[in-house]
Homo-oligomer: A and B are copies of this chain.
Amino acid sequence: MCSTSAVLTTSLDAARTVAVREVPEPTVQRPTDAVVRVTATCICGSDLHSYRGAGAGLPLLMGHEFLGVVTDVGSAVTTVAPGDLVVPHFAVVDGTCPSCRRGFPGSCARLSFYGLPDAEGVPTVGGQSERVRVPLADGTLVRVGDRPADVTDGDLLALSDVMGTGHHAAVSAGVGPGSTVVVVGDGAVGLSAVLAARRLGAERVVVLSRHPDRAALARQLGATDVVAERGREGVAAVRELLGRDGADAVCECVGSQDAVDTAVALTRPGGAVGFVGAPQAVLPFRRLFMRNVRAGGGVAPVRAYLPELLDAVLAGGLRPGRVFDRELPLAEAAEGYRAMDAREAVKVLLRP
């Protein structure tokens, strides 16, 4: 006799309409699959793009950042086993193709996304669920191992995307010991970029923020200065603060035209901008060219950074879970979306 149980999953049914409903329990479908029981998940800034502008392809199964315990694996899985606490990468990757081996899993030959069919066409649920089938488990999941008592679920959950994305902004902007850094964006990615920049040795980290709560959090995470002005006034204020013609490194964590232009204007000649905000903008090519400002970044290669950042959490005191400022039961995901959309919360952790 076959008993089918059900699990909760999150669905965007229309713009600003999120439902949590039952779907059949995910099971291993392929030898390379694992099933993960989710212990914590969360809402990403990019989920809000869909939430606000929801276009084609609805209903959309939501979520790509989660943390959980493996409950079942296919016969070909070798790196994780039932009972293991794992951080899943925000997208499914094989870990073996040329792009993965070169450290750019975002260009993986078998890339797929939670909530959509995998590279073989088999559907998956999103990460904002009680359980998730993870294709290509060996490439996608990272085993946590021994966990110190003061490491929170949020600290580990942040490694599945947001912390690695902030780290990518800082790495792409060339942050190193002694750097002066500007972070454009006071959302969870921007705040993670602050953490990353300090960890990489930045001496000065200026955050652009007009939200007193976020500015205070940025300072807690290591920002040395906060500038509330925007646009031309913001550029002038930062230059005056740094006493020179811009920062060595600018982390662009928004993606809008204003943010991109501000980031480029705030970079000194010969400096670099790291872009991680999904670009809805034109790059000012001539301006970059005349000042030899380098532009790097893109879809963050979070899987490649995961071992290093996991080690920094487990042994190095990195606490990226501090970007979560609200926790709700998974069943109340809709309220989490509302709060983030209204900018009442920086980042909402959902607890299945």
Chain A contact residues, CB within 8 Å of chain B: 98-99, 102-104, 106-107, 172, 244-245, 268-270, 275, 278-279, 281-283, 285-286, 288-299, 301
Q: Decide: A279 and B269 in contact? CB cutoff 8 A.
A: no
Tell me if B282 and A282 are in contact (CB < 8 A): yes
- Are B281 and A285 in contact, CB atoms less than 8 angstroms apart? yes
Instruction: Given contact pairs A102-B270, A282-B282, A282-B285, enumerate 12 new A-B contacts (beta carbons under 8 Å).
Output: A98-B244, A107-B269, A107-B270, A172-B294, A275-B289, A283-B288, A290-B298, A291-B298, A292-B296, A292-B299, A293-B298, A294-B296
Least distance between A335 CB and chain B CB atoms (Å) = 32
With contact pairs A275-B289, A282-B285, A283-B285 given, residues A99 and B297 touching in the complex (Cβ less than 8 Å): no
Q: Which residues does chain B contribute within 8 Å of A103, judged by CB atoms?
A: 270
Min CB–CB distance A250 → chain B (angstroms): 14
**Cβ contacts under 8 Å, A301 to chain B:** 270, 292
List the B side residues contacting A104 at CB < 8 Å: 269-270, 291-292
Q: Which residues of B contact A244 (CB under 8 A)?
A: 98
Q: How far is the CA of A203 from the CA of B316 in the complex (A)?
A: 39
Give every chain B residue within 8 A of A296 (Cβ-Cβ).
Answer: 292, 294-295
Contact between chains at B282 and A290 (CB < 8 Å): no
Chain B residues closer than 8 Å to A106, beta-carbon distance: 269, 290-292
Nearest residue (CB) in B for A301 is B292
Known contacts A281-B285, A285-B282; A107/B292 CB under 8 A? yes
Chain B: CB-nearest residue to A255: B289
Contact A269 B102 (CB under 8 A): yes
Chain B residues, CB < 8 A from A291: 104, 106-107, 298
A107 CA / B293 CA spacing, docked (Å): 11
**A309–chain B nearest beta-carbon distance, Å:** 17
Contacts of A298 in B (CB 8 A): 288-293
Given A269-B104, A269-B107, are A294 and B295 also a contact pair (CB < 8 Å)? yes
Inter-chain contacts of A286 with B (CB < 8 A):
279
- CB contact between A270 and one of B99, B269, B288, B289 (< 8 Å): that residue: B99
